[in-house]
Every structure is written in structure tokens, then in C-alpha cells.
Amino acid sequence: MVTVIAILVCGALVWNVAGDGRWSTASASARAGDAPKEIQAPLQPGSPNAQEPATPPAAQQPPVDSTLVSKVKGEGKVVALTLDDGPWPEWTDKALSILARNDVKATFCMVGQQAKDHPDLVRKVVAAGHTLCNHSMTHDINLKKRTPQEMHGQMQETLDWIHKASPGTPVRWFRAPGGNWSEEVRQTAASLGMGSLHWTVDTNDWQKAGVPKMLQNVHGQLGPRGIILCHDGGGERSQTMAMLEQVIPELKSNGYTFVTP
């Protein structure tokens, strides 16, 4: 008789907990959550179960301006030299030699595929103290027509290969292949921490029209705070190297100081 009574009492308790006549895990959990909890004293530093203080969050980087930059900062006769489409065997080394002899720092706008194929040249440019610029992974001149994901991928992959060659090296600039800019291209570059770098002087050295024509382009287009575009990659660049041998000393003798953006 005692056993029967005990079974009936337990059944009633189970029925009341479930509420709807079935066992409910959620109901049991909710009720368990209502139970008073043991009050514990805070753990003292050095105690076995004490947790280390949380690492403070890294300082947030200021947003990058997406405005297209076509002139360098400064006053008067300051000029920036930029070289696109490298790094390239032979021609990047020759450019570095010319720059070193003339004590000039330049900005190298690197194509990601070239950085992937020639990491040693990336490191040489960095070791010489020059500035790096992202010039997309495949030099896609139609980049502004791509999807946002494709734009981002072209820029990010280039950054990845540059940083694989030279970890931690800042890449503060992006230059759109062909100068084909759009608001979305500039905003995407800014989202990756890069400003958008254009130019004021186009040597048109890729046309290989001869050194005199290249020099004419420079002297005809250059003004205070100008940015000169030429190439250390994309093919044979002997005319460009010959032009640099002449134009750098000429500009210096005319009172120009070479800077980076």
C-alpha cells in the first residue's frame, strides 16, 4: 500500500511540472533557473581559477579618405616619381640602381601576380626604402566594371602576396590600372586602408616613342606638387630607364625635391 501511494505522489509531481501532461525539458530548465544560486566571493589574483585580465581592444585605425590624390603634399617644387606594373626582372633592378645613385625615393605600384612571381624584388624595393602601392592582382583595366567582390579580391590578393614577400610592410596606396577610377573602386581601396593615387604627368613611356618625347611630356606637364607616372614593368623598359637617367638630375637642377605621396 505504501509503495502504491509513493508512485501516485511522484506521478502527480511530474504532471504538475510538465503543465501540459508531457515531460518538458524546457520547463525543467526554466524552473531550474529559478533556483537560488550559491553566492561566491570574487576570485583573488593569483588564485588557481582566476582569469587573466582581458586584453584591451586594439585602437581603431582612422578611416582612410577615398578622395583621388593627384598631387603630393608640400609647397613649391616638390615632385613624386611613381613606377607601375612591376616588380619586373631586370627593369626593377635598374630602376632601383638609378634611384639609389640619385638619392631619390619613389613609389612602386605593384601588380599582385608580379609580386607573387618575384618576391625577391618586392623585398629589394622595401629594403631600399621606397613606398609600395597596390596596382591590382592582374592589372585589370576594367576593374571599375567588376562586382564589389571582384574589386575587393583583386586588391586583397595583391596585398596578400606583397605581405607574404615582405611581412608587415605598409601598402598605403592603390592605383587603378589604366587610371580607370570609380567611386566604388576608391571606396573599396579605402576599406582596405589604402588611399587612391593618380598622377599629373603621364610620360607615356609604354608607347616607346623615344626618350626625347618622354622628356617633353614631363617638362610640358609638370607643375608644383606633381606626380609622374612611368613603368618598371609590363615589358621592355630600356627607354624608361634612359629617361630616368636624364630627367631626375634635370629636375633636381631646376630646384625640384623628390618626395613620396
**In the prediction, which pLDDT does 63 show?**
81
What grid cell was written down for 6? 509513493
Set 118, 135, 231, 232: catalytic member = 231
For residue 137, the tally of other CB atoms under 10 A from its CB is 23
**In the prediction, which pLDDT does 175 show?**
99
Helix (H) or strand (E) holding 258: strand 257-259
For residue 201, the tally of other CB atoms under 10 A from its CB is 22
**In the prediction, which pLDDT does 16 show?**
40
Set 20, 84, 198, 202: catalytic member = 84
Residue appearing with cell numbers 583573488: 44
**Exposure of 3 by Cβ count < 10 A (0-12 exposed, 13-18 middle, 19+ buried)?**
exposed
**In the prediction, which pLDDT does 57 show?**
45
Long-range contacts of 246-253, Cβ-Cβ distance < 8 Å, separation of 24 or more: 246/211, 246/215, 247/214, 247/215, 247/218, 248/81, 248/98, 248/99, 248/102, 248/104, 249/102, 250/215, 251/79, 251/218, 251/222, 252/102
Is 84 among the catalytic positions?
A: yes
Per-residue pLDDT of the chain (261 residues; tens, 9 = 90+): 444 444 443 444 333 433 333 333 333 333 333 333 333 333 344 444 444 444 444 444 668 999 999 999 999 999 999 999 999 999 999 999 999 999 999 999 999 999 999 999 999 999 999 999 999 999 999 999 999 999 999 999 999 999 999 999 999 999 999 999 999 999 999 999 999 999 999 999 999 999 999 999 999 999 999 999 999 999 999 999 999 999 999 999 999 999 999
Strands (E), 92-219: 107-110, 131-134, 173-174, 195-197, 201-202
Judge whether 146 and 154 are in contact, CB under 8 Å.
Answer: yes
**pTM of this prediction?**
0.77
**In the prediction, which pLDDT does 62 show?**
65
**In the prediction, which pLDDT does 61 show?**
60
Q: Which amino acid is it at 219?
A: H
